[in-house]
Amino acid sequence: MDDLTKEQVNSLGKAVGLDIQDPELTEVAYNINALLQALDDINPPGVDAIEPLPIVLP
């Protein structure tokens, strides 16, 4: 996955009502991209092909 640009992060912020100013925008973009990379690392390829087990409660 390609990293999100500062403009994309700013657009996402505005979509949820956040106005991220330029000094913080670089840090926010870096943190979001790091989070997305970490999430990508815990979802190995092919994991979506495994059928989940049903949850049975007593």
User: Rounded distance, CA 47 to CA 32, Å?
Assistant: 23
Residue type present at position 30: Y
Q: What is the DSSP letter of 20?
A: -
User: Rounded distance, CA 16 to CA 28, Å?
Assistant: 15
Residue 3 has pLDDT above 90, yes or no: yes
Q: What is the DSSP letter of 47?
A: G
- Domain membership of residue 25 (yes or no) is yes
> Which residues form the domain of 35?
6-43
pLDDT by residue (tens digit) across 5-57? 999 999 999 999 999 998 899 999 999 999 999 988 887 778 788 888 899 88
- Domain membership of residue 1 (yes or no) is no
Helix ranges restricted to H, the chain: 6-15, 22-41
- Domain membership of residue 23 (yes or no) is yes
pTM: 0.68
CB atoms within 10 A of CB 25: 15
